Amino acid sequence: MKAAAFDYLRAATIEEAAEASAGANTAVLAGGQSLVPLLNMRLARPSLLVDINHLTDLSYLRRDNGNLVIGAMTRHRAAETSALAGQDVPLLTAALGHVGHVSIRNRGTVGGSLAHADPAAELPAVAVALDASLRAQSAHGVRDIAARDFFVGPNRTALRPGELLVSVSFPVLQAGFSVQELAFRGQDLALVLVVAAVTVEDGHCTQARIAVGGAGPTPIRATSVEQALVGRALTDALITEAAAELSCDPPDSIHAPASYRREMATVLTRRAIRTAVHP
Ligand code: FAD
């Protein structure tokens, strides 16, 4: 199937892209790895496509004031192979390795993945786990949105018409980390996934950041699990006890019933904490 007809604008500046995307029924084209299939299946029928692939000033990774800041048009693969990202936010690098195949990561962008807001995608879960901050730009200026407020439903974000996602800031965090996924095939979108970053000092957990994807309309921060871990001696029994605190309400899907996804979310949470602590 081919896409329905649309007008096309190759934006030369962020301002032009933001202004054009303020119109009714427009879509921003980044790497196209999610949008183009939707267009071809006619599940998306925008009347105007605003191509931001030539906004090279949105492609960068840099350290800024204790944060790793990534431009929205940075390709997944560029972020995955960045030494800076690997050093500053190793959980992010590990998660990027799970995003589709290398060919998809060569084109797909960090901003596109976040703006697409698939509840089972890796980057939204990492953003929620690490309290990332997402920067939107429009003709009215710039605003920063906390990851916990950015994802508002399946494929729905807090971005307003005319707002372009321009960057995301992850706090620098060198902690033990793990990404655990249940998927039919290695590089498929997960049925359920868990990302975890855990800091241990003298055998005690001093910080835990855990998020679950594919278990609700948005990525879920596992705060009850985190609270059960922090300040306590990290034994295997504690990890099992803490993972059992996970509360999530995944929907039934054609691939797996809700009960199975819920059970697997707990199993993967336990596994993610263990692997983060004992890599
Ligand atoms: P696009 O497809 O261009 O855009 C996606 C959406 O975001 C569109 O609605 C677009 O308008 C909007 N958008 C894009 N950029 C911006 C911006 N800067 N500001 C505002 N809105 C914007 N993803 C995973 O996370 N995990 C997987 O395992 C995975 N597996 C995949 C397997 C296959 C076979 C395929 C085809 C895709 C898979 N994906 C997976 C999706 C892929 O990672 C996409 O690259 C990503 O979801 C979207 O990034 P993109 O740059 O391609 O965005």
DSSP notation for 185-231: STTSPPSEEEEEEEEEETTEEEEEEEEEESSSSS-EE-HHHHHHHTT
User: What pTM does this model have?
Assistant: 0.97
Return the pLDDT at 255: 86
Average pLDDT score over the chain: 96
Q: Whose CA is nearest to atom 14 of ligand 1?
A: 112
269 lines ligand 1 (CB under 6 A): no
Strand partners, 176: 198
The token pair that represents 203 in the structure block: 């055998």
- pLDDT of the residue at 20: 96
What's residue 188's pLDDT?
84
Q: 52 with 26: CB under 8 angstroms?
A: no
Of all protein residues, the one whose alpha carbon is nearest to atom 38 of ligand 1 is 100
- For residue 27, give the nearest of 116, 109, 142 by alpha carbon: 116
pLDDT of the residue at 186: 76
Domains of the chain: residue spans and CATH:
7-51 (3.30.43.10), 56-171 (3.30.465.10), 176-277 (3.30.390.50)
Written as one letter, the residue type at 45 is R
Query: In which order are the strands placed within the sheet that holds 192-201?
Result: 176-182, 192-201, 204-213, 220-221
By DSSP bridging, strand 204-213 and strand 164-171 are unpaired
- Among protein residues, the one with the nearest Cα to ligand 1's atom 32 is 100
Decide: helix, strand or coil at residue 71: strand
CB 138 within 8 A of CB 162: yes
169 lines ligand 1 (CB under 6 A): no
pLDDT at res. 205:
97
Residue in 35, 135, 191 to alter for ligand 1 test, most ligand atoms within 8 A of Cβ: 35
Residues in the chain with pLDDT values less than 70: none
Instruction: Check residue 21 and give its pLDDT.
Output: 95
Q: How buried is 271 (Cβ within 10 angstroms: 0-12 exposed, 13-18 middle, 19+ buried)?
A: middle
Does ligand 1 have an atom closer than 6 angstroms to the CB of 11?
A: no
pLDDT of residue 119: 96
pLDDT in tens, 213-257: 999 999 999 999 999 999 999 999 999 999 999 999 998 888 889
What is the reported pLDDT for 128? 98
State the Cα–Cα distance between residues 42 and 23, nearest whole angstrom: 20
Please identify which residue in the block is written with the tokens 């003709």: 139
What pLDDT score does 174 carry?
Answer: 86
Confidence at residue 215, expressed as pLDDT on a 0 to 100 scale: 93
With a 6 A CB cut-off, is 124 part of the ligand 1 pocket?
A: no
What is the C-alpha separation between 250 and 247, in angstroms, rounded? 10
Tokens linked to 176: 């033990």
The ipTM of this complex is 0.98
Q: What is the pLDDT of residue 77?
A: 98
